[in-house]
Every structure is written in structure tokens, then in C-alpha cells.
Structure 1
Amino acid sequence: MTASGALRTAEVAAATGYSTQQVRDLERLGVVPAAVRAPNGYRVYAPVHVHALRAYRALAGAVGPVAARRLLGELWRGTVTEAAAAFNAVHARLAGERDEALRARAALRTIQAEEGGPDPGADQDAMTITQLAGALGVRTSTLRFWEREGLVRPERVTSQRVRRYGVDAVAAARMVVALRGAGYGVPAVREVMESLRTFEGVAHAERILERRLAGIGTRTVALMRAGADLAAVVDAVGTPGAR
């Protein structure tokens, strides 16, 4: 370390786990503020750069590198209050993903509890596409898309081939809503729904959801790690609105 807490590029790299070239690249991308230039032209960094780079590494693990760059950039360009709001929004988004995944798991367990043979009253519980869309809060076109993708299989009745969703189809549609809300893409949802129709059934689908929840937990821990370094960055840059 140089005098007065100033750091050379190699020292910043050693403290953050990045290469010297990555440190320069992340500076160029705005993840950290521009380093001061010494009379000899070499970059001179401060401890705040180390905290910012550590925060970026953790944020990238939580939300991905693109969103992490945006969050750090907002901190340098805006106010601390704005940056704190953006950080809180990430927390809220992860919490929302976890809630949706838990709802998906609950829906899956409901399906499991309802297994055990046809319900004599199933016909009277059938829904039209309009009724089901209203109950789920989605568009009828969304249900048709899910049908084309093989996610939900309604019956077709009458000469007009009107769709009718029985108990099994309604349960499947609830499951698809929960999975899509939890952030699953169509291929992943299809994997879960197809597993429900195989001998592995609910157990395999539940393992998929448990992996999802574990991933959200890992990202949440990464976000917590980022918070400690971001607090140090905030202390370094001053009070809200000061810049």
C-alpha cells in the first residue's frame, strides 16, 4: 500500500479477487469511480474502490452482472437515497421470487393431496376458458398459449369445440401460474408439468422447486454480503444528496 491509504491497481486486484485488467475494465464500465492519476500516469485507488468492487461481485451473484453494474452506476451518479431505494428494490424482488416459489410448492402439494381418483362432482366444477382466466387473473389468450405449449390440457366439447377445464386442468393451470410467477420460463414449466404426468410425478416436480428455493437463498446471502460493502461505500461518499 502507498502512503495515505492510496492503492495501486495490483493491490486492489489482490484485495478483491479480480485481475488488474478486470479492475481497469470495471472502472471503465462505471462500477467504480475513475481512479486518480499520479504524476507518473499510474492509477491511484482508495479503499472505497475495494469496497465497491467487492459489492459488485456480491451483487452480480445476486442479480446478475448487468443489474449489478446499473446499481453501482446509480450510486456514483445519483444520491445515496436513490441508490438505497434501488438496493431495497432488489431485496423486495428476491423476496417476491421466494414467495412465488413457495406458492408454487404449496400448489404442488395441493395437487398431491387431491390425487386419489376421479371426483364424482368433477363435472360440476369444470370451467370455461373465460371463467378460468378470470379466476387466475390471466388473459384467455395466455391459456390458449399454454395449451399450445402443452402446459395445460383442457377438454373440448360441443360441436363448436369449446374448451372446458375440469378439476385436473384447473389444478394444472394454477400450478403454471405459480411457476411463471416464480420466474420459470416456459421450458422449465413444461419440465415440471410433464414430470407430474410421469411415474416420478409430484416428487420430481417438488425437487425442481426446492432447487429454485435454494438458488434464491444463495442469491439472498450474496445480497447480504453486498450490503456490508455498500454501507462502507455510502460512508465514503457522504450523506444523501451531498454529491
Structure 2
Amino acid sequence: MDRPLRTVDVARATGYSVQQVRDLERLGVLPPARRESNGYRAYGPRHVRAASAYRSLALAVGPVVARRTMVGLQGASLVDAAAAVDDLHAGLAAERAQTLQALTALEAIRSEAAAPSPGSRLTITELADALGVRTSTLRHWEAAGLLEPERVGSLRARVYGEPAVATARVVAALRAAGYGIPALRDVVAELHGLGDAADAQAALRDRLDRIADRSVALLRAGADLAAVVDNPGRAQLTEASVSRAAPPSVAR
């Protein structure tokens, strides 16, 4: 039977400091260590795998979600544990899809910007005619949070300035491409917070690169997570494999 691992052994195997290993146990990221008769902590290979899994998860989804996930996995059934990990993958996939939608919208903006402008301030009828849609469609987009027309006069008539006209043209282009209202709401919110189109496009492409890095980190966490949630009596690591369990980089 392999000898118990000391705190310093776990630290060396994972790249954490001794204090960080103790903190991870205190936070519930690591299963509780067995205490020997002299009061010292006695760890095992499963603790090393848990620390390694946390490091990769922290890179993938951030330390707060990583801690919450690791705590939730302690004692979870295999079905619940697998579902929790699937949710993390789904979250990254959703971020990627939303970013790609925003990039598509920027392309639509460029395309629409090249088209002749119908005017700087339009009534709802004029804008509907310019886009080839019904006025009821514009009201629906407004109710869905996609458009914000000005209201003027005692009758509170809708008037669309240049920003609203530009947004309406992008919405119309993406609706024609098959985008649903929920996706459009995310895209419009994204575009309003990005500013200049050229800078926004670079920022979105950088975000895609970072999402890819996080996805790879989540994949790396997979084998360690399987060892954490699996029956502790199955597929134990040897002491030699523990010493090779982690690269030197550390996510705190």
C-alpha cells in the first residue's frame, strides 16, 4: 500500500504552496485529509487529482465557479457529477455562440453601413418602408427590447434617430438570416457595449481565442475530475504517477 502523502508532497505534485493546499482543503475543494496519530494530515492520490482538477477548472471557468463545482462534487453521485461538468461545457459553448453571433452582427453593420441612408430621423412608417417590414414588426422589436425610438409631441409619436435606424437595419438583416428574438436581444446588448466596430471586432476575436483556451483547460480537468468523482477504491494512482500529476503553472 502506498504511504500517505504529506501536505508538502501534495504541494510539490500540484505546484501549489503548502498553505494553498491547506486552504483548498479548508474551502472544501479537497476532500478532508485523514489525521494521523501525531495530528499531521495524511493525503492520498485523490487529493492530488482534486487539486489538479481545481487548477484547470479555475482557468476554464474562474476560481469562484471552480470552487463551487469542486465542493459540489464531493460526495455527489456519478450522474450528478457528470451533469455538473456537462453544464460547464455548455456554458462555454453558449459564450462561444454568443460571441460568434456578435461577430455576425458586426458584418451586418458593415454591410448595412455601405447602403444609402434613408434619412437621419424617420417615423415608424418611414422606417418600416425602408426596411421592407410592417410597422407592427417594429413595435414587436421595441417590445422585445431591440429598439428604443424617441417619443415626440403630445401624441408621443415614435421617431427613430440614426442609432436606432442602424440597430433596426442590423436586426432586420439578422432576422432575415434566421436569428430568433432571444439571440437578437443578446447580440444587440453586446453591440451596444462594444463601441467602435473595428475595435469591437478585434475584441470579439480575442474573446474567441480566450474561450478556446478555457475550453482546453476544461478538457484537461476531465481526467482529474473523473478520478475525484469515481469510487475512491478504483483506479488509484501510484506514488510515482502522483509526482508527475501536474505541470508547474498554478491557478489560485
TM-score range, shorter chain: 0.7 to 0.9
Higher helix share: 1
How far apart in 2 are the matches of 1:227 and 1:133?
A: 47
AA of the residue aligned to 1:40: N
Q: 1:160 offset after TM fit, Å? A: 2.7
Computing the radius of gyration over CA atoms, which structure comes out larger, 1 or 2?
Answer: 2
Asked if structure 2 preserves the Cα contact closer than 8 Å seen for 1:32 and 1:49, the reply is: yes
Cα gap change, 1:210/1:157 in structure 2, threshold over 3 Å: closer, same or farther? same
Asked if the contact 2:106/2:201 (under 8 Å) is kept, the reply is yes
Aligned CA RMSD, in angstroms, stands at 3.3
* Offset of residue 164 of structure 1: 3.9
Q: How does 1:212-223 map to 2 (within 5 A)?
A: 212-223=207-218
Aligned to 1:198: none
CA 156–106 in structure 1, closer or farther in 2 if over 3 Å, else same: same
Q: How does 1:1-243 map to 2 (within 5 A)?
A: 4-116=2-114, 117-119=116-118, 122=127, 124-125=129-130, 131-132=137-138, 134-135=140-141, 139=143, 142=145, 154-156=149-151, 159-165=154-160, 167-171=165-169, 181=186, 189-192=191-194, 194-195=195-196, 202-237=197-232
Letter in 1 for 2:140: G
Q: 1:217 to 1:88 in 2, by over 3 A?
A: same
Q: Where do 5+ consecutive residues of structure 1 fail to align?
A: 144-151, 196-201
Deviation at 1:172, TM superposition (A): 5.7
Q: Give the secondary structure class of the aligned counterpart of 1:77.
A: coil
Contact 1:12/1:50 (8 A) holds in 2: yes
Q: CA deviation at 1:157?
A: 5.1
Aligned residues, how many?
Answer: 216
Distance in 1 between residues matched to 2:184 and 2:3, nearest whole Å? 50
Taking only the aligned residue pairs, the percentage that are identical comes to: 46
Report the TM-score when normalising by structure 1: 0.75
How far 1:78 moved relative to its partner? Answer: 1.9
What's the offset of the Cα at 1:64? 1.5
One-letter code aligned to 2:20: Q
Q: Which amino acid aligns with 1:66?
A: V
Measure the CA separation in 2 of the matches of 1:173 and 1:155: 18
User: Whole-Å Cα distance in 1 between the matches of residues 139 and 233 of structure 2?
Assistant: 51
One-letter amino acid of the structure 2 residue matched with residue 6 of structure 1: P
TM-score, structure 2 as length reference? 0.72
CA contact (8 A) 1:31 1:53 kept: yes
Distance in 1 (CA, whole Å) between partners of 2:25 and 2:136 is: 53
| 1:134 Cα deviation from its structure 2 partner | 3.1
CA distance in 2: counterparts of 1:179 and 1:125, whole angstroms:
20
Q: Identify which of structures 1 and 2 has the higher relative contact order when contacts are C-alpha pairs closer than 8 Å and 6+ apart.
A: 2
